[in-house]
Chain A
Amino acid sequence: MTSTILQAINGVSFAALLFLLASGFTLSFGLMRVVNMAHGAYYLLGGYVGLTLAEQTGSFAVAILGGGAAIVVLGYLVDRFLIRRTGENHLAQVLLTVGLAFVIGDVALAIWGGDNLKVPVPPFLRGAVELPGGVYYPKYRFVLIFFGALVFAVLWILYRKTQIGAVVRAGVDDREQVSATGINIDRLFVMTSGLASFLAGMAGVVGGAFLTLYPGAEWEILVFALVVVIVGGLGSLEGAMVGALIVGLLDAYGRWLLPEFSYFVLFGPIALLMLFRPRGLFGTEH
């Protein structure tokens, strides 16, 4: 019984991290139709930058903001000088951004080395909280769940309730008409892409504090984020949230109940879902 609950908390806290990464990915795909496979590398690099900042300044907040900001700059340069040249060619985008992810990964290896590194967490987030029944659970993971929920709430209000959110939704519907309405679509793309980059970099810092950072982590997290986006439906914020919860929980229970088959527990149900809802749970036609 206790283990069941603990695994649920494990799953939901992992889901909170996946949501940070997948929400940006799904929004930028929905609006710009760009498949950016370097998103995992953005996560890892953001984490490393945050790690260095946390060690230098001792501030976790600086690490989160700095890790996000570093990726905003990198993401802008990548969009402006590389991805823009691919136009609407998804295959070229995938090849370009996969290649880019390898380059980023190697540069990170050269700078930060191949060991598992952990972003230091401030003392008030360390330790464990006691749950009813005398079980202890890491405090950080609880905070992560609240943080994920907070980011979802902020993004949801921004997307559903503000005028700029309406502009983004209109762009998901019909980009050409948005531009013909006088909306500076280039600036809108830069803003949306910047938000996605920031979320990815921030996710790296937050995730690096409990999953640690190491070469190859970018691909592991990318696979999970892609599954979240596909399950939820490309371009759907609500889908990213529900998809993250499904993937997080399946992963946690799979590792616990059937450790030899944990990938099967994750991908089996998702293959079934794809059979009946190829656009994902909240996906619409593009």
Chain B
Amino acid sequence: MPETLLSVREIHTYYGDSYVLQGVSLEVAQGCIVAILGRNGMGKTTLIRSVAGLTPPREGDILFRGRSLRGRPSYAIAQEGMAIVPQGRRIFRSLSVRENLVLPTSGLARGPRSMPVDDHSRRWTLELVLQEFPQLAERINHLGGALSGGEQQMLAVGRALMANPELILMDEPSEGLAPRLVQHVEEIMRRLKARGHSVLLVEQNLALAMAVADEIHVLSSGRFVFHGTPAELAGASEILDQHLGVAATRFA
């Protein structure tokens, strides 16, 4: 049984006055990909933002490697070993590709525990990230704002990897990408897993989540209505139909 890396316990999160997450719990084990599915407006992005400390929950607790993240600013949470690939990529537009990538290596990003000492051979460097995404190497001196959507997605993943995180939070990485690029995102996720990263993935793309995830949660109106393996979800026709809006026959 792999160790639990992230443990979300009964969190309640508000966005302004609206009550978005209404008691959500989940666990991500070391080296696993856990996917959150759900339609728009069900609280998926809020869940990612709660974990990253960008929209802290009002109640409940989030533990990372057994330590509570309550009340910690988002940079301190990131320094614990968590990186986010946010919705809409949020590339720094006026920075070059290189500057975007090396940003997490700044002295201001070095936390007390951000250096996992055990395995240096696993560490990402600029060279390794550029090997992984050769297209970024070609455009290394271009401004982030000048890249295409697919390139920005690679840059967002590359930027997250440069922080050498144990857990990567990915918010709709397939959003707005052509099918060929979604295929690429799928390959990237598999390689991340092979390298030992854990991923909490929020997606609307059912096929992508089914293909890469070890576990799936389905979020509906701020609560989980399903938790199981992709195979179990494929058999849960009511969930697919009611909460994800797909005909069950597609995965039967």
Report which A residues bind B (CB closer than 8 A): 163-164, 166-167, 169-170, 172-174, 176-188, 284
Contacts and interface: CB of A to CB of B under 8 A. Distances in A.
A181 B94 contact: no
B140 interface: no
B89 to A, nearest CB: 10
Contacts of B76: 184
B226 interface: no
A181 B95 contact: no
A173 B90 CA distance: 9
Interface stretch (B16-24, B106-114, B172-180): B106-114
Contact of A173 (B54, B94, B107, B163): B94
11 contacts: A167-B106, A170-B99, A170-B100, A173-B93, A173-B94, A177-B86, A179-B73, A181-B75, A181-B103, A182-B111, A185-B73
Contacts of B106: 163-164, 166-167, 183
Contacts of A173: 92-95
A180 B56 CA distance: 13
B83 interface: yes
Contacts of A188: 108
Given A166-B99, A170-B92, A176 B54 contact: yes
A181 B163 contact: yes
Contacts of B7: none
Contacts of A166: 95, 99, 102-103, 106
Contact of A174 (B73, B78, B92, B104): B92
Contact of A180 (B74, B95, B105, B107): B74
B31 to A, nearest CB: 22
A166 to B, nearest CB: 4
B12 to A, nearest CB: 22
B88 to A, nearest CB: 10
Nearest to A174: B90
B78 A182 contact: yes
A185 B75 contact: yes
Contact of B109 (A172, A176, A182): A182
A251 B212 CA distance: 66
B13 to A, nearest CB: 16
Contacts of A181: 75, 78, 83-84, 103-104, 109, 159, 163
Interface in B93-134: 93-95, 99-100, 102-109, 111, 114
B92 A183 contact: no
Interface of B: 52-54, 73-76, 78-79, 83-84, 86, 90, 92-95, 99-100, 102-109, 111, 114, 159, 163
A183 B108 contact: yes
Contact of A170 (B53, B79, B95, B107): B95
Q: Give the residue among A164, A173, A186, A187 with the most B Cβ atoms within 10 A.
A: A173
Contacts of A177: 86, 90, 92
Contacts of B94: 169, 172-173, 284
A182 B163 contact: yes
Q: Give the residue among B52, B84, B95 with the most A Cβ atoms within 10 A.
A: B95
A187 B53 CA distance: 18
Contact of A169 (B84, B86, B95): B95
B108 A167 contact: yes
Contacts of B52: 180
Contacts of A174: 90, 92
Contacts of B79: 182, 184
Contact of B103 (A167, A184, A185): A167
Contacts of B163: 181-182
B108 A180 contact: no
Nearest to A172: B94
Given A166-B95, A183-B106, A185-B73, 12 more contacts: A163-B106, A166-B99, A169-B95, A173-B93, A179-B74, A180-B52, A180-B54, A180-B84, A181-B163, A183-B108, A183-B109, A184-B76
Q: Which 10 A-B pairs have the closest CB atoms?
A: A182-B78, A182-B109, A170-B92, A166-B99, A177-B90, A179-B75, A179-B74, A173-B92, A183-B108, A184-B108
A82 B111 CA distance: 28
B92 A187 contact: no
Contacts of B102: 163, 166
Q: Give the residue among A163, A170, A173, A180 with the most B Cβ atoms within 10 A.
A: A180
Contacts of A180: 52-54, 74-75, 78, 84, 86
